[in-house]
Structure 1
């Protein structure tokens, strides 16, 4: 069973501004759970795409019901790998993220695409997808529900952080979200394979492709 999350919105800010703000999101008052941010690799390819790999350390708070089940020495930090590709020609910016530790407990894979709007060139479309799974027999469903709730909370913080940077840099206007629709659902058994294949497509690229 895989939990699937989809979020789509339009930002009343140009793609260039949003892309620039993305790299300067941290620190911000809405993302205090992000502890460290390090660039592991960066390269501009022959076709002018920017490939970047970053490593983040974030807090890893367990739900209260899980604190009595899992070891007390379980790391309270989670390491997140983010691969991204910026294509200035097509005006698209795609990020792929996944957690590196606690993968038996829960794995969260995310794909986010920032694309210049065709309908409103001065706006940016954001499409975010996530696939949440757990390998803990007997507890996978509550763990996935908890993971989905946390992911939704964190993505709200991420959007507020991005808005904060845009406002400081470019004076983002009020009501900057033109369209905001959130859909979250548990993947049914019949759709599990499809969700897994999509999750695989969202997995950050292998290191060998960058080095």
Structure 2
């Protein structure tokens, strides 16, 4: 399982990962393996977000990934966050043994967003909706990558769907959710705007 997790970044379904470097690794007194990796990923932001963040952050970002391998509990846990926007989004991924069937592996993915110092609630809502929508749309591609890596290690044929098909589906879903987020943000802005009272003479 640990071998699969470390190979997830090195397959066709992770083309957005540009570089990968291990910057720290140690075994704790509790016999846990702790690893910190530095990743570089592509980062396409919508046009309205490019007005908020610097131009150099709208194309690529640096990611820190901390992972913990616990052989005693047979779990593998990772935490990832952007160095560029370290207070914006944090993602947690957990691999562990299924409590009912030990031959199965339980996978749990989570993501959460904080206010990250954004004072304007209007922009925060837009960023929150866009970030969570992108996270959800990427899960289909992430699962395909997991299947692909597992199939390669087992020496069997991988997923029948091509990367092009998966990427196209994820792009379409991301566009739909981003559009919905923009419309929702516009509605919030309209509702928050002061209403002018009408006077009749």
Q: How high is the TM-score relative to the length of structure 1?
A: 0.66
Contact 1:30/1:157, CA 8 A, preserved across alignment: yes
Corresponding position of 2:191: none
1:165-205, Cα deviation, whole Å (9 max, x unpaired): 10111157999xxxxxxxxxxxxxxxxxxxxxxxxxxxxxx
Task: Tell me, in whole angstroms, the C-alpha distance in 2 between the residues paired with 1:41 and 1:157.
Answer: 28
Corresponding position of 1:39 = 22
Q: Which digits, 9 at most, give the CA deviation of each residue in 1:91-149, with x for residues without a partner? A: 1111111111035xx71111221111121111100111110235261311111111111
Between structures 1 and 2, the one with greater helix share? 2
More strand by share: 1
Corresponding residue SS for 2:13: coil
Q: Give the structure 1 partner of residue 102 of structure 2.
A: 121
C-alpha RMSD of the superposition? 2.4
Match of residue 149, structure 1, among 129, 133, 140: 133
Query: Using the alignment, how far apart are the partners of 1:119 and 1:128 within structure 2?
Result: 20
Gaps of 5+ in 2: 160-201
Deviation at 1:72, TM superposition (A): 3.9
- Secondary structure of 1:21's aligned partner: helix
Which protein has the larger Cα radius of gyration, Structure 1 or Structure 2?
Answer: 2
Distance 1:20 1:55, change over 3 A: same
Instruction: Give the direction of change, closer, same or farther, for the CA distance of 1:24–1:71 in structure 2 (3 Å limit).
Output: closer
Residues 152-163 of structure 1 aligned to structure 2 (within 5 Å): 152-163=136-147
**Structure 1 residue aligned with 2:43:** 60
Distance 2:53 2:106 in 1: 40
The SS at the match of 1:162 is helix
Residue 27 of structure 1 aligns to a residue in which SS?
Answer: coil
Calculate the TM-score normalised by the size of structure 2.
Answer: 0.69
SS in 2 for 1:83: strand
- List structure 1 runs of 4+ shifted beyond 6 angstroms: 172-175
Q: Secondary structure at the match of 2:14?
A: coil
Bigger relative CO (Cα 8 Å, ≥ 6 apart): 1
Residues 1:130 and 2:114 aligned together: no
Give the paired residue count: 156
Shift of the alpha carbon at 1:71? 4.8
